[in-house]
Amino acid sequence: MYKPASIATRLAMLGLAFSLQAATTATLAADERISTLEDQQQLALTIYNQDLALIKDSRRVVLEHGENALAWRDVSARIRPETALLRNPSQPGSFRLIEQNFDFDLLTPQTLLEKNVGRRLRVISTHPTNGSESTEEAVLLSANDGTIVQFADRIESHPPGRLAYQTLPNNLRAQPTLVIQLDAATAGRQVLELAYLSGGLSWKADYVGELSADEKQLDLNGWITLTNQSGASYPHARLQLVAGEVNRVRSEMTRNAMRAMPMAAAADVMPVQEENLFEYHLYSIERPTSIANNQTKQIALLSAPQVSIRKEYRLQGTSDYYHSPQAEFSDKLKVGVFMEFDNKAGNLGIPLPRGVLRIYKRDSNGNAQFIGEDSIDHTPRNDTVRLKLGNAFDITADRKQTDFQRIATNNRNLFIYETAFQIVLKNARNAPVTLRIVEPIPGDWEITSESHPHHKDSAKTAVWQITVPAEGKTQLNYRTRVKL
């Protein structure tokens, strides 16, 4: 027998898998009542911050009286099947659940090959010149790292030609399917809702702000960024987003859980309704949206022009300075640049979900330049958003410990330290600046002398507000006594 040159087995199996999909539907349809997206009446998604979503899928299905095997196709590939809950909202007693199975062993060329190990199949070869086909029967011996088949008179690895299978293995599906066994009280058409929790869906907030030329106002835009890696698509879904830390039992999910850009013009904000939900905030997108599998989608959340901001230069110390001697050298310190604004009624005033805020400012040619970013936590109404954008270039600080003494006491559990510091603040800009110097001081402490007055921001913090003249410098000297 003439044996033609080898045909790429993977391509042959791929083509065969597509041809078998129709056979799959026909085979299963004899025993199951199949529901697809074509039956869908309504779809609702509630997505949490923590790679979790609640999916409510309503479909119109036809049931027979008595037992039915309902194959609910196009569910999330990352469904938590133990959380699935099927019900008829308008007729609660129309059926009784018996059992359910989540079939996630999907029909692919490789799984079809693996499931047929030990079974008979046909190897179809095509003559390379005249195109005639010849067929031989064989037994598939192995599908590990290639194929090994046994013909009547020989055993071959990677046989030339394409493989034709006689049967489709059980539970091999073209897409993830939840098969629900139920006992229907009556025959006819019903609208059923399947609700379940799924991984693979998440959201986060992203914010973009443009700083005004005088650095006193901010034009702020907010975006909701959705990511779908659940293995399913969700067409025309009613979308809700939950902001907050929802407690989850990592080892299991029970049904109880079911009860419960560089600067562009401001986007048209899709209407978003916000409300309290237990200890969280719920954002409802009024217009339905479609989320394809393996897609990232952005939806406009807010647009707040001319938000008043406050800019701050901050020098942050450390508590280690106050109970140990420092080396005889100046400590070059970076001066941080911070910006803050109030989330209050007016331009803002809605609870802001956690996310990243990126700030831009236009240069002398009108081009928007990126000047820094920072993450913000969930921010309630009337709270303050505070960002660190970077470190100042023209403002520097030198710190030096000028004295350190450990004072003996009669109490072995009490230590007293006296420490003196000198901080030289330099401003190379052509305008004066005000620095906020924040010093965390441990134990029971007091400032015994100082060149500039401080205020006690908290029991552990001393703060100085010092103005440094344009192209000049200012020196802060102070002495502390610390009891530890």
Planar angle of CA 89, 93, 95, nearest 5 degrees: 95
Strand 66-73, strand 33-35: pairing:
parallel
Question: Which strands make up the sheet holding 95-103, listed edge to edge?
Answer: 33-35, 66-73, 177-184, 95-103
SS3 content of the chain, % helix, strand, coil (to 5): 10, 55, 35
3-state secondary structure at position 318: coil
Q: With beta carbons less than 8 A apart as the criterion, state whether 236 and 288 touch.
A: yes
Secondary structure string (H, E, C) spanning 187-237: CEEEEEEEEEEECCEEEEEEEEEEECCCCCEEEEEEEEEEEECCCCCEEEE
DSSP assigned state of 9:
H
Q: In whole angstroms, what is the distance from residue 352 CA to residue 302 CA? A: 10
3-state secondary structure at position 111: helix
Token duo for residue 374: 């920072």
Q: Is 66 left (phi over 0), alpha (psi -120 to 50) or beta?
A: left
DSSP class per residue in 266-301 = PPPPPPEEEEEETTEEEEEEEEEEEE-TTEEEEEEE
H/E stretch holding 313 reads strand 310-316
Q: What is the pLDDT along the chain (484 residues), one digit of tens a residue?
A: 334 433 334 334 434 433 444 344 444 444 789 999 999 999 999 999 778 999 999 999 999 999 999 999 999 999 999 999 999 999 998 999 999 998 877 778 888 888 889 999 999 998 888 888 999 999 999 998 889 999 999 999 989 889 998 877 766 787 889 999 999 999 999 999 999 999 999 999 999 999 999 999 999 999 999 999 999 999 999 999 998 766 766 544 333 433 333 333 344 444 567 676 666 778 888 889 999 999 999 998 889 999 999 999 999 988 888 888 877 555 678 899 999 999 988 778 888 998 999 999 999 999 999 999 999 988 888 999 999 999 999 999 999 999 999 887 777 778 899 999 999 999 999 999 999 999 999 999 999 999 999 999 889 999 999 999 999 999 999 999 999 8
Domains and their CATH numbers in the chain? 42-59+191-308+348-382 (no CATH), 310-343+386-483 (2.60.40)
Q: pLDDT by residue (tens digit) across 188-221?
A: 999 999 999 999 999 999 999 999 999 999 999 9
Q: In whole angstroms, what is the distance from residue 84 CA to residue 104 CA? A: 15
Question: Which strands make up the sheet holding 155-157, listed edge to edge?
Answer: 155-157, 148-150, 133-142, 120-126, 162-165
Planar angle of CA 209, 45, 252, nearest 5 degrees: 110
Instruction: Return the C-alpha torsion angle 263, 267, 271, 272, nearest 10.
Output: -10
Q: In whole angstroms, what is the distance from residue 452 CA to residue 421 CA? A: 13
CA-based nearest residue to 141, from 121, 111, 160: 121
H/E stretch holding 364 reads none
Planar angle of CA 336, 308, 382, nearest 5 degrees: 95
DSSP assigned state of 403:
E
